[in-house]
Amino acid sequence: MADPRWTSLPELVRDAAGRFGDREFLRFPEGSLTFAEADAESDRLAGVLAARGVRPGDRVAIMMDNVAGWPLSWLAILKAGAVTVPVNVRYRTADLGFVLRDSGAALVLSAPAYVPLMPPGTRVHTLADFDGERAEAPAVPPWEVANFQYTSGTTGFPKACMLSHDYWLRTAWFVAEQTGLRDDDVVLMAQAFSYMDPQWSAVMCLMAGVPLVVLPRFSASGFWRSAREHGATMTYVLGTMPLLMSKQPPHPLDREHRMRLVLCSGIAPDLHRRFEERWGVAWRELYGSTESGLDLSVEPDAATTVGTGAMGRPPPGKEVRVAGLDGGALPDGEIGEIVVRGLPMMNGYWNHPEATAHSMRGGWFHTGDLGFRDAAGYVHHAGRIKDMIRRGGENISPAEVESVLETHPAVLAAALVPIPDELFGELPKAFVQLNPGHAADTETAAVLVEHARHRLAGYKVPAYLEFVESFPMTPSARIQKRLLLDPPRDQRSGAYDVAAGSWREGRSMIDITVRQDVAIITLNRPAKLNALTGDMRRRLAAALRQYGDGTTVKGIVLTGEGRAFSAGEDLREAVADPPGGLVGEVELFHDITRAALETRIPLVAAYNGIAVGGACEMTLCFDARIGTPATELYFPENTIGLPVSNAASILLPRLAGNRAMRLILESPRIPALDAVALGLLDEIVPAVDLLDAAIALVHRWTGPGTAQHLRLLRPSLESVERAMAAETQAAREAEESGVAHAEITRFLAG
């Protein structure tokens, strides 16, 4: 197989524009671009960047969602002779700040939503800043390195792989050759453009003159619908994507598409044949890494490998060896480390010469993966020796997460370890040793999780947390992590379940499942009429934030178990000994409001029964409320002098108009039909159809402009904050006067 004939990506872009001109190149939800348009617009942006001081060799970061501006910015940066630093949009202050500092980024091109996350002093622009600005693309040779592609290595914080133009050209060229890319192909990608795969796919499409369709995000329920709509013929999936798709109900149109080849990394052998039979298309393995590009692939016509776990054979120019401890090749069937050499290969890790030397020792790149070779020359995966956690398709560096946890004053030391998970493969569990004076309780666990969530991408936040008195240590004072998992028990048992917001002892008080791409949050205390404890309220706010960014689900539905959506029995927390405080109780509801109004996806309350008190008020900030014929709404606390919570003082009048005063001061029981007439319920459905109706509503409301429409249609957070501040003050006055304590005590006494 001949080598690619281009020497740089800008050369390839200009050649593609000349050869394919008005043929479609990039298709995004907001529109499409031809090869000629992409070349012209990236030229313009390159000129603007140069005019604004970007010089050859400068690093320019991109932090955008899956919009056309991402690949256009990438190509423009390269045309300006600079180096691109892709930034995961899920990064937050700690990981974002690290990447910008470590790379020495001179400029960040960002979506408006991420500008507030930038560290002070960061030079940042949105593409809108350049609207109408024109400048000639500079006549500069491309810098040898095209990307600083950050990846979590075996230890420490993420490291930047220095990837050359040749790296991208060879990776794309090899995939195109191995898959037999045709001029009538349409390539579909659902991963974030900051990841490797949309980038090499774009390069591959430039070479062949075929369209690249980029979805806003991956949707298990919508993936094959999108494939049909766009006439896609080839795609690449990884991580949990195949399993999530397979869990969707069978559809009559499952095999109605143009797809001829699904490329995948890590196909579950026992599911491989089922995938092919269900969707009527060949699934074939690709194996590689950020450091080394494509290392192994299975030929499209190699049907005998289906279900065997074979990851493939190396392409021309690559050698792959299963090595023993001495580095020598092992016989077929014996397990050793998978090592590779040849091209493409990274130029090394930026700022980490020791790590580069270690990973490339003996002239081979050491993947940290274990495997064996079969008699046909196919390499199979057999585990990993890296100190790294792979959550679905994401790599997590334990050292990075441990460092963030240890910055909290309550933490003396932390250790992050992987625990097995059916869906994600592995989940991160944190073991934490606390400093003296800090309680190993739910409140501390929740605080630590929030500390991590504000500083790390969501997938890096521990899924479970367990407090320990001390750690088993090596003679060199290192934590022996393997001993933390030695006890023969379920590693979730006795741990703080971050998704549930409670300790893992039986079923959680709040359950979360994903159904048809919608997160179903269920209040699960039917014996207490689903009364919301403080822990449950914290967990509910955390769940809204976890799923509300729209990266994993299309919407959120809140419902209950048993016969009640919610009830106010946990008012006793406000008069506990020591007192929890009415103000604190009200503030917890306020935080749920903040979390709800900040979501980018629809929120639906599905009242399965009576909805009582603060949790009933809580859903006033939701986008829709659906009930059953048995649904009743009731605000009994208001009749005993307790102030409204969750900004009901502004949200209830918004829905019920001048009837709001009667509802608050008289607190009548409101049956379902009256609630619809008042606007408190949007519709009534039979109990058996409640969740289906809520999910269907989410899907009807999901579209390209959903997030913007929700932002415009919901009340502003600023106005609600003012209302919540007034409610907090009313609660404080009721508490300080003694009225709240006396009335709650009388109410609970019956």
Q: What is the pLDDT of residues 229-242, one digit of tens each?
A: 999 999 999 887 89
Question: How far is it between the farthest Cα atoms of the chain?
Answer: 85
Residue 477 in 3-state DSSP?
Answer: coil
- Omega prior to 636 cis, within 30 of 0: no
Q: What mean pLDDT comes out for the span 439-449? A: 90
Residues for the chain: how many in total?
750
Look at residue 568 in the predicted model and tell me its pLDDT: 57
Q: What is the DSSP pairing of strand 124-125 with strand 107-110?
A: parallel
Look at residue 494 in the predicted model and tell me its pLDDT: 77
Please answer whether residues 183 and 426 qualify as being in contact, where contact means their C-beta atoms are separated by less than 8 angstroms.
no
CA angle 482, 483, 484 (to 5 degrees): 90
Mean pLDDT is lowest, of 449-453, 573-577, 722-726, for 573-577
- 3-class secondary structure per residue, 55-93: CCCCEEEEECCCCCHHHHHHHHHHHCCCEEEECCCCCCH
Q: How far apart are the first and last CA of the chain?
A: 84
Q: What is the DSSP pairing of strand 632-634 with strand 683-684?
A: unpaired
Upper half-sphere CA count for residue 657 (Cβ side, 13 Å): 4
Q: What mean pLDDT comes out for the span 622-651? A: 79
Q: Residue 459 and residue 90: Cα distance in Å, rounded?
A: 8
* Confidence band for 569, pLDDT divided at 50, 70 and 90: low
Please answer whether residues 350 and 148 qualify as being in contact, where contact means their C-beta atoms are separated by less than 8 angstroms.
yes
Q: Residue 657 and residue 1: Cα distance in Å, rounded?
A: 73
Residue 155 confidence (pLDDT) above 60:
no
Class in CATH terms, 395-497: alpha beta
Strand partners, 564: 610
Residue 733 in 3-state DSSP?
Answer: helix
Look at residue 571 in the predicted model and tell me its pLDDT: 61
Q: Report residue 741 as tokens.
A: 């304590």
Q: Report residue 558 as tokens.
A: 């809140």
- Omega prior to 578 cis, within 30 of 0: yes
Residue 535 in 3-state DSSP?
Answer: helix
Q: Residue 538 and residue 543: Cα distance in Å, rounded?
A: 9
Residue labelled with tokens 């792979």: 390
Look at residue 500 in the predicted model and tell me its pLDDT: 76
Q: Residue 737 and residue 721: Cα distance in Å, rounded?
A: 24
Residue 582 confidence (pLDDT) above 80:
no
Residue labelled with tokens 């918004």: 654
Contacts of residue 625, Cβ cutoff 8 Å, sequence gap at least 6: 604, 605, 607, 619, 680, 681, 682
Upper half-sphere CA count for residue 140 (Cβ side, 13 Å): 23
Strand partners, 389: 396
Residue 380 confidence (pLDDT) above 70:
yes
* Confidence band for 506, pLDDT divided at 50, 70 and 90: very low
C-alpha 491: how far from chain center:
24
Domain segments of the chain as ranges:
395-497, 507-744
pLDDT tens readout for residues 648-705: 777 777 777 766 666 666 677 888 888 888 888 889 999 889 999 999 999 998 888 8
Phi, psi of 328 (to 5 degrees): -75, 155
Q: Report residue 563 as tokens.
A: 């016969």
Q: Residue 358 and residue 293: Cα distance in Å, rounded?
A: 18
For the chain, what percent of residues have pLDDT higher than 90? 55
Look at residue 579 in the predicted model and tell me its pLDDT: 42
8-state DSSP, 526: G
Residue type for position 434: L
Please answer whether residues 495 and 508 qualify as being in contact, where contact means their C-beta atoms are separated by less than 8 angstroms.
no
Share the mean pLDDT of the chain: 88
* Confidence band for 154, pLDDT divided at 50, 70 and 90: very low
Does an H or E element contain 303, and which?
none
Closest to 627 in 3D by CA, of 612, 604, 606, 613: 606
Q: At what angle do helices 35-51 and 69-79 cross, to 10 degrees?
A: 60
Please answer whether residues 66 and 90 qualify as being in contact, where contact means their C-beta atoms are separated by less than 8 angstroms.
no
Residue 578 confidence (pLDDT) above 50:
no
Look at residue 43 in the predicted model and tell me its pLDDT: 97
8-state DSSP, 361: G
Q: What is the CATH number of domain 507-744?
A: 3.90.226.10
**DSSP letter string, 493-522:** TTSEETTTTEE-SSS-SEEEEEETTEEEEE
Residue labelled with tokens 């009933």: 616
Contacts of residue 228, Cβ cutoff 8 Å, sequence gap at least 6: 253, 256, 257, 258
Q: What mean pLDDT comes out for the span 22-33? A: 95
* Confidence band for 299, pLDDT divided at 50, 70 and 90: very high
Phi, psi of 546 (to 5 degrees): -65, -45
Cα dist from 736 to 568, 581, 645, whole Å: 21, 10, 17
Residue labelled with tokens 């095999």: 255
Q: Do domains 395-497 and 507-744 have the same CATH topology?
A: no
Please answer whether residues 558 and 691 qualify as being in contact, where contact means their C-beta atoms are separated by less than 8 angstroms.
no
* Confidence band for 495, pLDDT divided at 50, 70 and 90: confident
pLDDT tens readout for residues 132-144: 999 999 999 999 9
Residue 713 confidence (pLDDT) above 70:
yes
Residue 488 confidence (pLDDT) above 90:
no
Residue 573 confidence (pLDDT) above 70:
no
Cα dist from 591 to 68, 382, 384, 571, whole Å: 35, 45, 41, 17
Does an H or E element contain 18, and which?
helix 9-20
Strand partners, 34: 24
Q: Report residue 639 as tokens.
A: 């009749």
Please answer whether residues 501 and 539 qualify as being in contact, where contact means their C-beta atoms are separated by less than 8 angstroms.
yes
Closest to 501 in 3D by CA, of 563, 573, 466, 449: 449
Q: What mean pLDDT comes out for the span 521-540? A: 76
Helix-, strand-, coil-residue percentages of the chain, each rounded to 5 = 40, 25, 40
Contacts of residue 113, Cβ cutoff 8 Å, sequence gap at least 6: none
Look at residue 257 in the predicted model and tell me its pLDDT: 97
Contacts of residue 262, Cβ cutoff 8 Å, sequence gap at least 6: 234, 235, 236, 237, 275, 279, 281, 282, 283, 284
**Counting runs of H as helices and runs of E as strands, what totals does the chain give?**
23, 36
Look at residue 385 in the predicted model and tell me its pLDDT: 78
Please answer whether residues 628 and 668 qualify as being in contact, where contact means their C-beta atoms are separated by less than 8 angstroms.
no
Q: Residue 393 and residue 151: Cα distance in Å, rounded?
A: 12
Residue labelled with tokens 């890790």: 349
Closest to 554 in 3D by CA, of 704, 699, 705, 713: 699
pLDDT tens readout for residues 175-213: 999 999 999 999 999 999 999 999 999 999 999 999 999
